[in-house]
Amino acid sequence: MLMRSWIAEAGLARHAAWVPVDSEERDPQRFWLSVLGALRETAPGAALVRALTARRTWTAGRSWSGC
C-alpha cells in the first residue's frame, strides 16, 4: 500500500502496472498474461502491448487444452 501512495503522490499512477499474485498460483502462462494485461492498462502500455490470450496446446492424449 505504501508503494501505491508514493506512485500516486508522484503523479505516476497511469504509468504503473499492478499484478496481484495468489500464493497458490503456479501457472507461469497465467502469470505472464496477467503482467501483460496490467501493462496494457498503463498509458504507455496501451499503445505498445496488444491483447493476448492463452495458447491452446496439444496433449499426448490427442486433446486440446488451455485457458
Which three three-digit cell numbers place residue 48?
505498445
The answer to whether residue 62 sits within a structural domain is no
Cα 67 from Cα 47, distance rounded (Å)? 25
The answer to whether residue 63 sits within a structural domain is no
- Taking a C-beta distance cutoff of 8 angstroms, is the pair 11, 4 a contact? no
Cα 34 from Cα 18, distance rounded (Å)? 9
End-to-end distance of the chain based on CA atoms, in angstroms? 31
The answer to whether residue 12 sits within a structural domain is yes
Predicted confidence at residue 24, as pLDDT, reads 83
Domain membership of residue 51 as a residue range: 2-56
Q: Which residue's C-alpha cell is 487444452?
A: 65
The answer to whether residue 67 sits within a structural domain is no
Q: What's the pLDDT tens digit per position in 38-55?
A: 888 888 888 777 776 666
Question: What is the number of structural domains in the chain?
Answer: 1
| Predicted structure pTM score | 0.60
The answer to whether residue 17 sits within a structural domain is yes
